[in-house]
Chains A and B, each alone.
Chain A
Amino acid sequence: DTEVTQTPKHLVMGMTNKKSLKCEQHMGHRAMYWYKQKAKKPPELMFVYSYEKLSINESVPSRFSPECPNSSLLNLHLHALQPEDSALYLCASSPAPRNEQYFGPGTRLTVT
């Protein structure tokens, strides 16, 4: 298995909802990442997990809460989002920190 999978592909949620995005990889990678990408803009790093520990949090609002239950799985819990949080959320993994990253297809999130 040589890919990063993300579910769901699309998500529409209200501002009072709680939802979660899921990312999975079975390549034995030990670093995993969340990015946010707005239309026609480059991806912006949100969080980095290195060996299942949160190593980087790029000053992301607390309404985004990451979780890494094990080395293959990465979740992003969403609560009380704002319409401006609508974006493509990308997950990536790398064999180890400092290696090249492999991205999933993303979850298209719309907050209404």
Chain B
Amino acid sequence: LAKTTQPISMDSYEGQEVNITCSHNNIATNDYITWYQQFPSQGPRFIIQGYKTKVTNEVASLFIPADRKSSTLSLPRVSLSDTAVYYCLVGELADKLIFGTGTRLQVFP
């Protein structure tokens, strides 16, 4: 399973765009990239998943360069409620997810 590396923490202000980058140098051909959000004492929540190029949904965008060795989760115009831990996961078998340390995002007013 590909190992992921993310910044431990990030700070932002309300209304700003936040980009969280995840490094996964040994990603395999069949691996997908998935991001989850977790609030304290709650279960993680699926945000977005992608394989290559760009994926966008109603809450975020995921940018994956051609070499797929990294990916960037983009959160447009964050609010205080986006303060959470964000996990990047890489793998073919989504049923064997290995969560990395995650990025703790703090949004300030």
Q: Which residues of A contact B (CB under 8 A)?
A: 4, 31, 33, 42-45, 48, 50, 55-56, 88, 90-92, 94, 97-106, 108
Contacts and interface: CB of A to CB of B under 8 A. Distances in A.
B99 A48 contact: no
Interface residues of B, number: 20
Contacts of A101: 44, 46, 94, 97
Given A45-B96, A48-B96, A94-B94, A100 B102 contact: no
Chain A contact surface mostly: strand
Chain B contact surface mostly: loop
Contact of B46 (A42, A98, A102): A102
B34 A43 contact: no
Contact of A45 (B49, B97, B102): B97
Given A100-B34, A102-B46, A103-B45, A43 B99 contact: yes
A4 B97 CA distance: 18
Contacts, number: 55
A56 B94 contact: no
B6 to A, nearest CB: 11
Interface of B: 34, 41-46, 49, 87, 92-102
A101 B49 CA distance: 11
A45 to B, nearest CB: 6
B97 A108 contact: no
B95 A48 contact: yes
B43 A92 contact: yes
A98 B89 CA distance: 12
A100 B101 contact: no
A93 B93 CA distance: 14
A35 to B, nearest CB: 8
Nearest to A31: B95
B24 to A, nearest CB: 15
